[in-house]
Structure 1
């Protein structure tokens, strides 16, 4: 059944691909962005900002399902910003009598970092409204343009060897971008997905150091590693900022989260949205190929 779908963060890493996939499937996509005139992706652009409640009503008018695919990780006060944004979004969705909200959050249990704790708080705030919420929780999404992936790629490409903090031995379950998009769009129509929380991941559980060294191997290099247990989170984030293009606030928030094991405990999503997940090495090759294509297109446009 064709639906009118609002995709918040439509110009972002995940949102742009979700909007494109939904449009390909024949849905009416309303691409929510803060600068509609600069939007060139799939769907009909509409200008709105989750920090401005008055701007949301026109965006939600006539919408069946709304995707919440935004966060403020690069801001020092991201927890407060994300909480306020989630409240505004939930209220606007309720006022418009939207059928459902679909949200991409973060994996993790137990003692969570501020970043992961904020993602969980956003879940709760969205669920506190009158609109049913379908939550998908993911770890690192491997795809060109993703912050965590870009950090991994740049470390593997720029360093001949690594002196690393303890978090490189934390286990995580990365997921390929096409699989994340497949799951996000796959829960759009099933009635049984309403009000449910699903964990999504790729077929492999890896340590961060495994991910880095496998990227290096795919690129035809080696990445020797020496782990230094006393490298503090502050020094670790400064090290990331020095070696990669990740800004200071984002690096700090990512490092805090990398001490938490993030793996799938419940694979219910694989029965609701069946399909063969992409392995880590193939996900890396796809991301590198997409980056190369984007670089060629940018050069040709100059």
Structure 2
């Protein structure tokens, strides 16, 4: 698929702004869909488009062979309905435009578990993106470690701002964090791959850790002591308000993410390693890379 045009919806976000240059480097011609194309100054070609406006999405997709969907509305109270409507619009437009593949970055989580609203919404979006008949490739990830990522920023800022942590029970939940560079490598690797069409893949880094272990390892790498005192009665609502006091994460976004932290998010099926074979980064190396990038941009 090298040389063919690919659209990235959400190309100016945390993942998208790293994916676009990687796609360009791989030889793809890239369109970056944004509501403010006049302000875009990165690689690829900016095109106007808004996932709530079907006509603009159809115009942005016209002539493309594949599309990435990296859009979500976690900062909104009605994010589930917003994300469902946007995904349905995008899926229908992709089908009308004759797109050959849609690639979506979703969330890990066992379907037999009682998933949080955030993770349920991600599952719903997976289905709606294929409503226009286009083969969808889904990559499900847990916490993505990289400068500017919301989940990572919560972790980094908690360690940086607190001399000790009073935490709810979700700090015992296991997760499989993955470095942003490895996420991008998987996203590029499945593009145009015949064995990736109409499949759901689970992606994660080398380590499976409880949230408490993640916090302690970041503290150790940052040379900061961080005693952790679990408090069972600290509710998700109180947790999100607490986060707003010690981090700059939006309360709604923080609440939606915290609700998901009761769900174990680990890779059960490593099939993606057969399609995009490489050894993912360990958590400590991912943390060091994120901290180094932050220092470079400050």
Q: Under TM normalisation by the shorter chain, which class is it?
A: over 0.9
Structure 2 residue aligned with 1:76:
77
Structure 2 residue aligned with 1:121:
124
RMSD: 0.7
CA distance in 1, matches of 2:192, 2:134: 15
User: Where do 1:196-211 residues align within 5 Å?
Assistant: 196-211=199-214
CA distance in 2, matches of 1:27, 1:128: 26
The superposition leaves residues 37-85 of structure 1 with CA deviations (integer Å, 9 ceiling, x where unpaired) of 1112221000100011121122011100000001000111100100000
SS at match of 1:5: strand
Matched length: 295
User: Where do 1:1-302 residues align within 5 Å?
Assistant: 1-109=2-110, 110-295=113-298
Structure 1 unmatched ranges of 5 or more = 296-302
Asked whether the equivalents of residues 101 and 192 of structure 2 are also in contact (C-alpha less than 8 Å), the reply is no
SS at match of 2:214: helix
CA-CA distance at 1:192 after TM superposition:
1.1
CA distance in 1, matches of 2:175, 2:131: 29
SS at match of 1:13: coil
The superposition leaves residues 14-49 of structure 1 with CA deviations (integer Å, 9 ceiling, x where unpaired) of 011111100011100001111111112221000100
CA distance in 1, matches of 2:222, 2:169: 25
Which runs of structure 1 show a deviation greater than 2 angstroms over 4 or more consecutive aligned residues? none
User: TM-score, normalization: structure 2?
Assistant: 0.98
Structure 2 unmatched ranges of 5 or more = none
Asked whether the equivalents of residues 93 and 132 of structure 2 are also in contact (C-alpha less than 8 Å), the reply is no
CA distance in 2, matches of 1:57, 1:108: 32
SS at match of 2:15: helix
CA distance in 2, matches of 1:183, 1:190: 11
User: TM-score, normalization: structure 1?
Assistant: 0.96
